[in-house]
Amino acid sequence: MKRWFALAAALASLCLLPSPQASADETSVTLWHAYGEAEARGLHEAITAFEAAHPGVNVTEVAVPFGAYASKLESAIPTGNGPDVFIVAHDGIRTYVDGELVASIGPIPTAVSDDVERGYLDAFRVDNVLYGLPIALKCTALYVNEALLATPPASLEEFRALAPVLAPGVSPLAFETDSAYYAAAVLHAFGGELLDATGHYTFTGPSAERTVAVLRDLVQQDVVPQDASGALVTQLFASGRAAAAISGPWLATDLPAGLRYRVVPLPTVGGHRMRSFVSVEGALLARGARDAATSRDLIAFLASPSGALPRALIGRQTVTSNAVQADARVANDSLLSAFRAAASHSVLMPTHRKMRAAFEPANRALRKALEGEMPIRVALAEGAHRFEMITRETMPAQNPTVFLVVVGLLFLVLTIVSIRKIADAGMRARIRRSWPAYRYVLHAALAIALLVILPLLVGAATSFFAGHGRDMHFVGVANYVDILTAQGGPIFAHGSFWLVLLVTVLWTVLNLLLHVSIGVALALALHRPMLKMRGAYRVLLILPWAVPSYVTALAWKGMFHRQLGSVNAILSHLGVEPVSWFAHFSTAFAANLATNTWLGFPFMMVVTLGALASIPNDLYEAASVDGATSWQRFRFITLPLLGPALAPAVAMGAVWTFNMFNVVFLVSGGEPDGTTEILVSEAYRWAFTRSQQYGYAAAYAVLIFLLLVGGNRLLSRNTEPVGGTR
Amino acid sequence: MKQSSTRAVLVEVAIHFVLLVAVCAALYPILWVVSLALAPSGAPDARALPIPDSISFHSFASVLFRQNSSGTWVFAVQLFNSVVISLATSFVAVAIATPASYALARFRFVGSKAGTSLLLFTQMFPGVAASVPLYLLLDSLHLLDTRSGLILVYATSAVPFAIFQLRSAFEAIPREIEEAAMVDGATQFGAFLRVALPAARPALAVTGLFAFMTAWNEFILAATFLSREEMFTVPLLLNSYVSEYSAAWGNFAAGAILVSIPVCVLFYALQRQLAGGLTSGSVKG
Amino acid sequence: MAGLTLRNVKKVLGKTPILHGIDLDVRDGELVVLVGPSGCGKSTLLRTIAGLEVPDEGEIRIADRDVTHLPPRERDVSMVFQSYALYPHLTVRDNLAFGLKLRGASAQTIEERIGEVSSMLELTPLLERFPRQLSGGQRQRVAMGRAVARHPALFLFDEPLSNLDAALRAEVRVEIKRLHDRLHATTIYVTHDQVEAMTLADRLVVLRAGRVEQIGAPLEVYEKPRTLFVAGFLGSPAMNFIPASIDSGIARAKDFAVHVPASIGGPTVTVGVRSEDVVVAESDGQLRFVVDVVERLGFDCHAYGKVGDVSFVARLNGEVARTAMRGTVIALNVRDGKAHFFDVQSGDAVQ
C-alpha cells in the first residue's frame, strides 16, 4: 500500500513539474503557426533576427497541429489563452473578424506599404480595418522533369501530344484532377469562378462544363492519371513516372535531391493562361494581445524585407516582399521566382465565408463527372444543390420565452416528483441506509458530473442554437425539424439524416457480425489446450488492438490507394484489375469495413477466450459421454453459454461501432460523395468543415444519443440489461 | 484408430492454417507501416509484400532526435509528457472508478440503478459535442495547457468504462472473503482495501491499461487544450508530420511505431489478465 | 459464565421474516449445532451472531457483553465459511496471520500462533503456498486454522464440510471434534447434515422456518423428539409415520396396531416408529410388513416396503436380513416404549 502512495506522490509531482517559461522581466509575444518543418525553420530565423533587433523581447513560437488549428484559434483567443500573433491564410479573414478573434494593426507601416503589392495588403482588410500583414503566397505552378522534357510544354494541348511519345508507364502530367482547387485554374482560364463576390456558388454553367470536359478528356486520353491524390502526384513525379506535375511549393520539399526539375508558371488551355488560386498567408494580430505594440512590431518585421529574407532562403517561401524577390539569391532560385511569377497570374482566393464550404460540393461534382457516373451538367447541378444544402441560410432567431417556460415547467414537475419521493418515509429510510455506499461513489459521481456530464449537457443545449462559430442565436427545435425532415427534400435524399442513418445501421450490423464471428472462430481455435504455439498466436492476434487506431486507419487508407496501395498490388498478382476503392459506395464501404473489422476482432476474441475459460470442462465431457459430436458440443454447449457472456460486450461494441468516427473519417473520409459517411462523422463535418455550425452538429449528436438509448432499451427488453457484466 | 488419428492431424493442420492466415492478416498493415518507416524514400509504394528494397533508419532517427527551433530535444520532452500523462491518467481513473464500482457491486443503494444507466448513457453521447464546453470548463479552472488538466479530462472520460469493468470484477469476487476479513477484524472499508482490492488486481491492471491507452493515443483533445510545444504529447508530434501541404509519411510511420511499442509491451505483459479481466471469473478458489 | 446468549432475535429480509424471535443460551465451552433444512434461517442466525447481519429486534450477548450493535470486528468471534473464503492473494501463512495483524498482535505472538495452529492442523508444509495451490481438504484445514489462530471468544462454523467428499468429511468431522475437545472453545456450528449434527453437538438446536423446534442433547432430541418435524428430520432412514385411529387404548391402522398410553385421547393420532425400533415377531406382530426392496449393508439391512398403505422402512438383522426379498411378509413388533405419538393437528408429541 505504501508503495502505491509513493508512486502516486511521484506522479503528482511530475505532473506539476513546471516547464521552462520566459522570465518575467522580458516582454513576451506568442506566435502560432501550422507550418511544416522547413517553413518553421525559416520563420524561426526571421524571429531570431527580430529578437536581436528588439532586446528584451522574447517570442515563443508554437507549431500548432494543423488539424486543430482553426478550432483552437476560435476557442483559445476569446478565453485569453490564445497567441498574440498568428499566421493564417487570408481566406478565413471574415470568419476571424466575425468571431472577434483579430484586432486592428492600425495603418500600414511604410516599410511594408512600399514593398508589398496593394492586392496582397488588402487581403487582410475588412471594412477598411487592417488586421494583419501578408508575408507569403501559396499558389500552384508547373513542375517539369528536365530529364524527360527538354522544354516545358506551354499548353495543356501540348501535353496531350506527349502521351504517345513518352515511355510506357510515364504520364505526361500529374495533378489532382478531381480537386476543385486544381480544377479552378482551368475554370479561371475560361473566365469562370467557384464562388462569386456575393457568395453564390458558380461552378455551373458553360465555363464550368467546359472545364470538366477538358479535365475528363485529359484523364480519358491518359494524359493525366486517374484519381491522383496529392501523395500519388508526389510519388509519380519524384520517381520519373510523370513528366510534369501541377502542384504548390510544398511539392519541392518532398522531391529527392537528385531529381533535376524546373518550375514554370502554369500552361495555357484553349489559348487562355491557367490561373490557380493564390492564398496569401499573413501574420494577424490577435484580439487581446498582451503587448499589442510589440506584436505589431513583430508583424511588421515579418512582412518587411528583413523578416522575409530568411523565410525565403531557409523556408523557401514565396514571400510577398518585392525587395526580397529582387535579392539576387532569391531571384536566381528558379523555384522562388517561378512561384512568384505564377502568383502574379493567379486569382486571389475569395474571402467570402462560404468559400470553404464550396470545395466539398465542387469536389464531389468533379469526381462524379470524371468517373463518368453522370453527365457533366447533372453532376454540376447536383453540386450546386449540395452547396445550398450545407450553407443554407441561418435559421431565423426565435424568442426563447416559450421554450424556457416549457423547460422551467418540466424542471418544476421533476422537482416536485423528487421531493415527494424523498418525503416518503420508506424512501428516507432507504436513503439513510445508502449512506455508507455514497461514501464510495461520491468522488466518482462528482468527477463524472463535472467533467463528463456537464460538458455533454452544455453540448446538447447548443443544439437549440444556430449560427456559425461563436456567432449563435436561439432557434428552438428548428435544427431538429430541419434534420428530421431532410431539410424539406425527399426523406432518403442524398446526405439526408435518414439515409445516413440507414448506412450507419448497416455499418454497425455488418461490423458486429464480422467482429463476433471472426473473434469467436479464432478464440475457439486458440482455446484448444493442445495447440502448439498458442501463446504466440494469441499475442500476434491481439496486436491490432494495441496499435493506435488513427495510425492503422491511415495505414489502411494507404493500402487501399488505387495506385500506391498494396491491396491492388495483391489483386494484380491474382490477375484482378485494380479497383478504385473510394470511387464507389460498395468498395469504399468495404474498405471501411475491412479496416474496422481488423481493428475490432481482437476485442471479441479476447472476450470469447475469457468466456470459454469459464465454461466448465465436465460439461463437454458429459456431452461426449452422451455421444455428442464436436459440432453438437459447440452448438448445444458452447454457443448457449457463450451468448450471455458475449451479450454485454456486443452491446458495448455496437455503441462503439455506431460512433466509430476515426475509421470512417480517416479511411474513406465519406467518399465517394459522402455516401459512406455515418452519423458521427456527419456531425463532425457540420461542426468543423461546414462553417462551424455547432448547433446543427449538436442536434446530430443528440439524435445519435437518443437512437442509441432507444435501441438499447429495445434490445435489452429481451436480454439482460446492458451495462451489466463485462 | 488409425483413421481417427489422421483426422485429428488434419484438423490440427487446418486450425494452424486458419490461425496463420489470421496472423498474416493481422500483421500485414503493421508490416506495411514498418516498411514505410524503413523505406529510404519515406513514401508509400505499390507492392504486395511489405518489404522495402533497402533499409534506412533515417526516419526513425529524424523522429527520435527531432529538435525544435530553439534546440530543445522535442521528442524527449513530449515522450516524457505522454508517459507522465498516461500513467497518471490510468492511476487517477482506476482510483476514481474502484470504490465506485465496488459500491455498485456490493451495496444496494438509492440511485445505483439510475447512476449505472447514466454511466452507460455517457458512452453513447458522441464526444464531438463536448469538446467546446470542456475547453471553457478547463479554462475557468485554469487548467488549460497543463498536464493536470489533460489528466483530469482523460481520467474522467475513462472512468465510466472502468467502472463497468471493475464492477463485474468485484461481483466475481466471493463476498465471503470480505466477510471473513470483517470477522477477522477489518472494517468494511478495510475489507475492501485489504481483501477485495488485492483480489481484483488482474482486473485493476487491465482497467489501468485501457485508461493508459485512452491517454496515450488521444489526439483531438490534446490538440485543443495544449498550446505550448513543451506540453505537447507524442500523438501531436505524429500529427505534425502530416500538415496541410506536405506529409512526411516515413517520419509519421516511424513515429507511429515508436508510439505503439509501449502499448504492445503492456498488452504482452497483461495478455493473460486481459481475457480474465474483460469477462468476470478472474478470481477462483 | 455464558458463552452466548440470544434474546428474542428477529430478522426480516425485505418483507419476509427470516427469524421469528430466537432465544438461546450457550454455555462457555459448549459446542452447539444449529440444524435444519435449507431455508430454515440457520445461516442467517449464524451471520447475525457474527455481526454480518443486523437483527431487527432482540439482543445478542457474547461472553456477557452486549454486541447487538457492534460490527463483526468488535465481537471477538471467528468464522469458518462454507466456501472457506481464504484470501486468494495471501499465502497460507499470511491467511493465518491476517486477523492477528489487524488486531495489532506482535510479530512474536503471530509466529507462535501460526506454529501452534499449523502443528495442530498439519499445515506446516503448506505455509508458503497460495490457496489456489491447495486441495479442498487442505483449504478447509487452513480455514479452520485461521479461525483457531485468533483465540476468539466464539467460533462460528457455517456448513464447513459441505464442499468435501464423503470420506474426507468423516475425517474432518473427527478432527473438528478433537479440536473442540482440546480447545473447549464456545462454538456454534451450522449444518443441514444430521450425522454432523448428532456426532459433533453437545447440544442440538433444531430450527424450522425461523423458529426453534427443539433444543437438547443429541440423543435426547433423537429419542424424545418434541415434534413431528424434529422426529422426521433426525435419523436415517427417517422415522416412519403411520396415521392411526385410537380405539380402546390401541392405535389402529391397516395391518397395524400398537398400544397407546392411557393419557392420549382423541380419535386419531400419528404414530412414529424408527426403522431400528422394530423386531421380528415370533408369531403375530403388531405390524404386517410387506417388503419391496432390500438394501443389505452387511451386518443388517434396510428393508423398504409397506405397512397397509403406508410406506415403511425397517432395519432388520439376523436371519431375516439375509432372506427377505420382494414380496416377503414379515410380522414385526415395536420395541417397548419406542413408539412415538404426535398430535395430528399440531404435530406436537403427546405422551
pLDDT digits (tens, 9 = 90+) for A150-194: 888 889 888 888 888 888 888 899 999 888 999 999 999 998 999
Residue type, A257: A
* Chain B CB within 8 Å of residue A11 CB: yes
pLDDT (tens digit per residue) in A227-245: 777 778 888 888 888 999 9
- C51: nearest CA partner in chain B: B183
Closest approach of C179 to chain B, Cα-based (Å): 20
Instruction: Judge if A216 and A154 occupy the same domain.
Output: yes
Residue A635 and residue A578 share a domain: yes
How high is the pLDDT of residue A186?
93
Query: In whole angstroms, what is the distance from residue A662 CA to residue A678 CA?
Result: 11
Same domain membership, residue A258 and residue A244? yes
A458 to B107: CB separation less than 8 angstroms, yes or no: no
Digitized pLDDT (tens) for each residue of chain C, 351 residues in all: 458 999 999 998 878 889 999 999 999 999 999 999 888 889 999 999 999 988 999 999 998 899 999 999 999 999 999 988 999 889 999 999 999 998 888 999 999 999 999 998 889 999 999 998 998 889 999 999 999 898 898 999 999 888 888 888 888 889 889 889 888 889 999 998 888 999 999 999 999 999 999 999 999 999 999 999 999 998 888 899 999 998 888 888 988 888 888 888 778 899 999 999 999 888 788 889 999 999 988 888 899 999 989 999 999 888 888 888 888 899 999 998 889 999 988 889 887
Would you say the ipTM is above 0.95?
no
Nearest-angstrom CA–CA distance, A310 and A287: 28
- Identity of the residue in B27, B45, B157 whose CB atom sits nearest the CB atom of A564: B45
A429 contacts chain B (CB < 8 A): no
Testing the interface with B: which of C53, C80, C81, C91 to mutate, by most B Cβ within 10 A? C81
Is there a single domain that holds both residue A115 and residue A149?
A: no
Is-cis flag, bond preceding C237, omega within 30? yes
d(CA C22, CA C48): 11
Residues of chain A with pLDDT under 70: 1-2, 15-26, 393-394, 469-470, 689-692, 716-726
Q: Smallest CA–CA separation between C152 and chain B, in Å?
A: 10
User: Chain B residues within 8 A (CB-CB) of chain C?
Assistant: 174, 176-177, 179-188, 190, 194-195, 198-199, 201, 283-285
Q: Would the CB atoms of A65 and B224 count as touching at under 8 Å?
A: no
Q: Which residue has the higher pLDDT, B243 or A606?
A: A606
What single DSSP character describes residue A225?
A: -
Same domain, A449 and A522: no
- Are A264 and A341 in a shared domain? no
Residue A9 lies in a domain: no
Cβ contact C10:C56 at 8 Å: yes
Residue A16 is assigned to a structural domain of this protein: no
Q: Which residue of A has its CA nearest to B187?
A: A436
Which residue is listed with cell 411378509?
C329
Query: Which residue of chain B is at minimal alpha-carbon distance from C146?
Result: B184
3-state secondary structure A709-720: HHHHHHHHCCCC
> With contact defined as beta carbons under 8 Å apart, do B276 and B282 qualify?
yes
Residue from A308, A336, A318 nearest A49 by CA? A308
Q: Residue A54: beta bridge partners?
A: none
Both A583 and A689 in one domain: the answer is yes
Residue A699: what residue type? Answer: A
Burial class (CB in 10 A: 0-12, 13-18, 19+), A549: buried
Task: Say whether C300 sits in a helix, a strand or coil.
Answer: strand
Q: Cell for B59? A: 526516419
Is the same domain home to A495 and A604?
yes
The count of domains in chain A is 4
Parent domain of A693:
488-716
The four Cα atoms C168, C173, C175, C180 give a dihedral, to 10 degrees, of: 160
Distance, in Å, from the CA atom of A471 to the CA atom of A98, rounded to the nearest integer, reads: 8
Triad A475, A476, A481: Cα angle to 5°: 95
Of A335, A181, A170, which Cα lies nearest the Cα of A265?
A335
- Put simply, whether A145 touches B (Cβ < 8 Å) is no
Instruction: Flag if B29 and A687 touch (Cβ within 8 Å).
Output: no
Q: How far is CA C193 from CA A529, B49, C200, C222, C235, in A?
A: 39, 70, 11, 14, 10
Q: What pLDDT, on the 0 to 100 scale, is given for residue C215?
A: 94
3-class SS of residue B214: helix
Residue A80: count of CB within 10 angstroms of its CB: 12
Whether A552 and A664 share a structural domain: yes
Measure Cα distances from A504 to A375, A556, A704, B14 in Å.
29, 20, 10, 36
Cell 464436436, located at residue: A630
What is the residue whose three cell numbers read 489528466? Answer: B151
Question: What residues does A17 pair with on adjacent strands?
Answer: none
Select from C85, C103, C132 the Cβ nearest to the Cβ of B180: C85
Can you list the positions of beta strands (E) in chain C?
A: 2-13, 16-27, 31-35, 57-62, 65-66, 77-80, 154-158, 187-191, 203-208, 211-216, 240-247, 250-253, 256-259, 268-273, 278-280, 287-296, 300-307, 310-317, 329-334, 340-342
Judgement on whether residues A515 and A419 belong to the same structural domain of the protein: no
Cell of A231: 501523395
Long-range CB contacts for residues A576-583, cutoff 8 Å, separation at least 24: A580/A226, A580/A227, A580/A371, A582/A227, A582/A668, A582/A669, A582/A671, A582/A672, A583/A227, A583/A367, A583/A371, A583/A671, A583/A672
Residue B235: per-residue pLDDT: 85
A381 and A312 in a common domain: no
- The CATH architecture assigned to C2-226 reads 3-Layer(aba) Sandwich (3.40)
In a domain, A433, yes or no: no
Could you give all domains of chain B from N- to C-terminal order, each with its CATH number? 2-56 (no CATH), 63-278 (1.10.3720.10)
* A449 inside 8 A of chain B by CB: no
Is it the case that residue B284 has pLDDT exceeding 50?
A: no
| Cβ within 8 Å, pair C102-B199 | no
Which pLDDT score is estimated for A720? 47
What distances in angstroms separate CA A657 from CA A456, A467, A661, one per listed residue? 20, 30, 8
Phi-psi region of B19 (alpha: psi -120 to 50; beta: other; left: phi over 0): alpha
Beta-carbon separation of B267 and A431 below 8 A: no
Q: What is the pLDDT of residue B276?
A: 61
Query: What residues contact A178, with CB distance under 8 A and at least 6 apart?
Result: A227, A363, A366, A367, A370
Residue A2 resides in a domain? no
Check CB contact under 8 Å for A230 and B267.
no
- Rounded to 10 degrees, the C-alpha dihedral C188/C189/C192/C195 comes to -120
Residue A535 belongs to a domain: yes
CATH number reported for the structural domain that contains residue A535 in this entry: 1.10.3720.10
Task: Please report the sign of the dihedral spanned by the C-alpha atoms of residue A411, residue A415, residue A421, residue A427.
Answer: positive
C-alpha atoms less than 13 angstroms from C-alpha of C132 in its C-beta half-sphere = 8
| Interstrand relation of A171-174 and C211-216 (parallel, antiparallel or unpaired) | unpaired
Contact at 8 Å (CB) between B245 and A36?
A: yes
- What is the reported pLDDT for B252? 85
Phi, psi of A389 (to 5 degrees): -65, -45
CA pair distance C144, C120, nearest whole angstrom:
11
Within a 10 A sphere around the Cβ of A381, how many other Cβ atoms? 14
More confident position, B57 or B189: B189
Angle at B180 between CA B178 and CA B183, to 5 degrees: 110
**B44·A441 Cβ contact <8 A:** no
Distance CA C349, CA B36 (A): 92
Could you tell me the three cell numbers for A187? 475554370
Q: What is the largest CA-CA distance in chain C?
A: 76
Which residues in chain C are classed under CATH 2.40.50.140? Answer: 240-342
List A residues 229-268 in contact with B (Cβ-Cβ < 8 A): 230-231, 234-235, 238, 248-250, 253-254, 256
The contacts of residue C256 (CB under 8 Å, 6+ apart) are: C242, C244, C271, C286, C287, C288, C307, C308, C310
* CATH number for domain C240-342, candidates 3.40.50.2020, 2.102.10.10, 3.40.50.10090, 2.40.50.140: 2.40.50.140
pLDDT at residue B1, as a whole number: 46
| Same domain assignment for residues A222 and A149 | yes
Chains B and C touch (3+ CB pairs under 8 A): yes
Contacts of A669 (CB under 8 A, 6+ apart): A582
Cα angle at A334 between A333 and A339, to 5 degrees?
Answer: 105
Residues of chain C with CATH 3.40.50.300: 2-226
d(CA C339, CA C223): 10
Nearest CA in chain C to B174: C85
